[in-house]
Every structure is written in structure tokens, then in C-alpha cells.
């Protein structure tokens, strides 16, 4: 929020700017941490009080499944789930649209394989 306040006069697309800054900070953090096991605080916004139990369970399932993806695929998938196109994602993450699409294809394949295995096991 401090960075947004400091750069507010130059920010044309606040939502994209925020996601880009957060993604870069997260990537830097991952690169500096030896133990890459993610932890979610019990008071995290995604786990805030939810009146619709089905919606909460669905959100939790999506987060759990996305955790199995490599960081770049997870990042691209998160942008996609937020409604961004591969071209917009490429521009914001300084990648080529082809690289974004490749990561999306790989992520979709990995997620489909994970889901099919999970169904067989249950």
C-alpha cells in the first residue's frame, strides 16, 4: 500500500499494477527462501469469515490444488483466474504471450492429472 501511495500519480491501471508488484515481491521472496513450503495464516483474507460454506470449500480446494503447480505456472494461472488475457499477463510479467500460453497449457495439464488422480483415490 505504501508503494501504491508513493506511485499513485503514475499508476494508470491500479489492479494490474498491484498484481504485478505483488507477483514480483512474491517471486523475490521465493528466490530468497530455502524452504518453499507455503503457509497460510488462519486469519488470511481468503479464509475470512465466509457465510457461504460451499463457496469457501471451493476456494479452499482451488488454493490447495494450485499449490501443486510450479511458481511460474501458479502465477500465470492466478492472473488468468482474475480475468486477464495471455497478452495482458505477458505485458505485466514481462514475458512473451507464447510463454504465458505454454505455462497455461502445462498448468492445465498438471491440474487435470491431479484432479483425475484425486478422483480415483477417493
Question: Would you say 78 and 92 are in contact if contact means Cβ atoms under 8 Å apart?
Answer: no
Residue 36 lies in a domain: no
C-alpha to C-alpha distance for 56 and 49, rounded to whole angstroms: 9
pLDDT tens digits, one per residue of 50-63: 567 777 777 777 77
pLDDT tens digits, one per residue of 86-108: 999 999 889 999 999 999 999 99
Distances (CA, A) of 51 to 48, 70, 82, 113, 118: 10, 32, 22, 31, 27
Q: pTM of the full predicted structure?
A: 0.56
What CATH number is given to the structural domain containing 90? 1.10.10
Count of structural domains, the chain: 1
Residue 56 lies in a domain: yes
The residues, any chain, with a CB within 8 Å of residue 60's CB and separated by 6 or more, are 47
Structural domain including 76 reads 15-28+43-121
Amino acid at each position: 500500500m505504501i508503494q501504491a501511495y508513493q506511485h499513485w500519480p503514475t499508476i494508470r491501471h491500479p489492479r494490474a499494477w498491484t498484481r504485478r508488484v505483488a507477483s514480483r515481491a512474491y517471486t523475490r521472496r521465493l528466490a530468497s527462501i530455502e524452504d518453499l513450503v507455503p503457509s497460510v495464516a488462519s486469519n488470511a483474507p481468503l479464509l475470512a469469515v465466509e457465510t457461504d460454506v460451499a463457496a469457501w470449500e471451493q476456494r479452499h480446494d482451488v488454493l490447495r490444488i494450485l499449490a501443486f503447480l510450479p511458481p511460474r505456472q501458479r502465477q500465470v494461472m492466478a492472473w488468468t483466474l482474475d480475468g486477464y488475457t495471455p497478452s495482458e499477463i505477458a505485458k505485466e510479467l514481462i514475458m512473451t504471450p507464447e510463454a504465458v500460453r505454454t505455462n497455461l497449457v502445462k498448468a492445465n495439464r498438471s491440474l487435470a492429472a491431479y484432479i483425475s488422480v484425486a478422483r480415483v483415490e477417493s
